[in-house]
Structure 1
């Protein structure tokens, strides 16, 4: 049951207190790959499990009840496409699901859109705005294949955080883009569900004397920039949002995660969560993070979803480039008198024009 969605920028004392504990089980999957002994990528997620979760969610009768978060993020990503003042002839939506981006895309921005997803049921039910030409393609984001230099735009919303080999995925996307093509995506970040993670860890420490991973690892913000740069993208823009959703209890949150097909699919996940541990975690969750609404006399618990938004361009000779080091005319130590410097420059130019 969704009570409210609020975008917030906050850092509570509780979050700081348990940040170290949360990091114990939320180590970025990119770091796991870097530590691979043989130089190859480490398989963190069970792709077969994730495909089954998505297929099950796609055919559920109440699937519409769980679209609220992905609808919101898809709308925001579509809005970012409008910010680029050009019309893209051919674009691809990787992990389109039920059309969380495509339903908001205007034919004034994209002429033709390739909808890609692992689930045929999702492709059959996808929603697209009127006037946009579409093609549908069953594609696993672990093995992205497009014609080289064929796409003007690649978009993806809340999908790529389940990819085992992100460096490979980014390189394949870059290969498919034309010069000066754009890649835009949103993924869950490392602080996602930190309240649930810390509550489960504390409950298991109390009841079992140890910690088992129940929440999948998420990519960190610092890793996204370095991976995009290594793949070959330029003019990067990376920012984060926090979406906080309030639920009656922890159990409604876990049920909605299952309905969103965002259940844990890590290979080393603990498949069983004891009943007494669940109730202990719910009590800890309410105690540490719970809220009480005096107007309705109801309790609720917040769940934080950190969204990492990324944008990168495929290199092109005509793209703006940074000026060479040492060519600056104003020292950083003089920034406090920037207004005076600008006035002097304008005066000099005006005098030159009069002459």
Structure 2
């Protein structure tokens, strides 16, 4: 499967890494300190923001049908203060340990996503929420997760991806074209769902599954949207902003007003709210184990697809 340009930007060092080791650390793309500052400044206490609430509900729904018992489970997230301490599978309760990556009671409690220091062969379930969307070394992150799982251990991740915030991205491009000598990257490149499976396979995971949840949301104004994504750490999370010939890096009120003006409105006459597309990419994969289902060898099937479809139509 081909890797898109957006994913390549997030997964630098892929071709230079040794296949048997952890990928080399690429150049810095995301400013994790800036992301943490944005989250803290928009922190609403013990309750998660609206988008995170949707992700947590979806996570519970995805775990609910699983019959496997998980004895040692971990959730990795920028801020773990609002996460549930337990969830349920079909037959068992899961009790979680936590690995905060940006916000904790002290720096000693934080985990570095670029050099994830987890015990090897220790967990049978690891869940990552949001960090993969703002990680420079995606392959290294996934490899360290893989190394921390025991055989038949499960990894689940959810993060912003795909065409998330495309309306905001285009509004800023239009505003920059008007006020600057060139456009700046203000909305980060996102991993696309079609690339997520390849990333899992490259890291060694078996039975990779990927899908996306598209949220078509509306906000009272672009400023309300910006405040929401700031609480997720997604507001201009890049380490550097490309310089322009005629701009010092400071943004004037006219520039911001142009971006707000360029943002699309809903088509209904009496509704001044603005739309926002959020794509949540979900991925899951297992540490290989002999008990897992194996794909059939080509030509070994006992019934053809056409016969199966004909039988289903009768």
Q: Using structure 2 for the length normalisation, give the TM-score.
A: 0.83
Asked if the contact 1:90/1:112 (under 8 Å) is kept, the reply is yes
Instruction: Determine the structure 1 residue equivalent to 2:135.
Output: 163
Tell me how far apart the structure 1 counterparts of residues 85 and 5 of structure 2 sit (CA, whole Å).
Answer: 34
2:133 counterpart SS class = helix
**Higher helix proportion (structure 1 or 2):** 1
Instruction: Determine the structure 2 residue equivalent to 1:68.
Output: 50
Tell me how far apart the structure 1 counterparts of residues 127 and 213 of structure 2 sit (CA, whole Å).
Answer: 18
Tell me how far apart the structure 2 counterparts of residues 99 and 176 of structure 1 sit (CA, whole Å).
Answer: 23
Give the drift of 1:74.
1.5
Within the alignment, does 1:93 sit opposite 2:65 as a pair?
A: no
Give the drift of 1:121.
4.1
2:66 counterpart SS class = coil
Gaps of 5+ in 2: 18-23, 243-248
Instruction: Determine the structure 1 residue equivalent to 2:20.
Output: none
Give the drift of 1:52.
3.3
Give the drift of 1:144.
1.7
Written as runs of structure 1 = structure 2, the 5 A alignment for 1:1-355 is: 27-31=5-9, 33-34=11-12, 40=24, 41-58=26-43, 62-63=44-45, 67-95=49-77, 97-102=79-84, 105-106=87-88, 109-121=92-104, 137-269=109-241, 272-286=250-264, 289-292=265-268, 297-334=270-307, 337-338=310-311
Gaps of 5+ in 1: 1-25, 124-135, 344-355
Structure number with larger C-alpha Rg: 1
Tell me how far apart the structure 2 counterparts of residues 339 and 54 of structure 1 sit (CA, whole Å).
Answer: 51
Asked if the contact 2:85/2:95 (under 8 Å) is kept, the reply is no
Select between 256-265 and 30-39 the one with higher mean Cα deviation.
Answer: 30-39
1:118 counterpart SS class = strand
Asked if the contact 1:115/1:137 (under 8 Å) is kept, the reply is no
Q: Sort the Cα spacing of 1:263 and 1:63 in 2 relative to 1 into closer, same or farther, 3 A.
A: farther
| 1:276-312 deviation digits (Å, cap 9, x = unpaired) | 22212212213xx4343x6xx4410011111111111
User: RMSD in angstroms over aligned alpha carbons?
Assistant: 3.0
Q: Sort the Cα spacing of 1:201 and 1:179 in 2 relative to 1 into closer, same or farther, 3 A.
A: same
Q: Sort the Cα spacing of 1:201 and 1:155 in 2 relative to 1 into closer, same or farther, 3 A.
A: same
Tell me how far apart the structure 2 counterparts of residues 32 and 268 of structure 1 sit (CA, whole Å).
Answer: 14
Give the drift of 1:34.
4.3
| 1:199-230 deviation digits (Å, cap 9, x = unpaired) | 11122223334211111121122221111001
Q: Sort the Cα spacing of 1:43 and 1:245 in 2 relative to 1 into closer, same or farther, 3 A.
A: same
Tell me how far apart the structure 2 counterparts of residues 281 and 138 of structure 1 sit (CA, whole Å).
Answer: 35
Asked if the contact 2:47/2:82 (under 8 Å) is kept, the reply is no
Q: Using structure 1 for the length normalisation, give the TM-score.
A: 0.74
Give the drift of 1:63.
4.6
Asked if the contact 2:132/2:159 (under 8 Å) is kept, the reply is yes
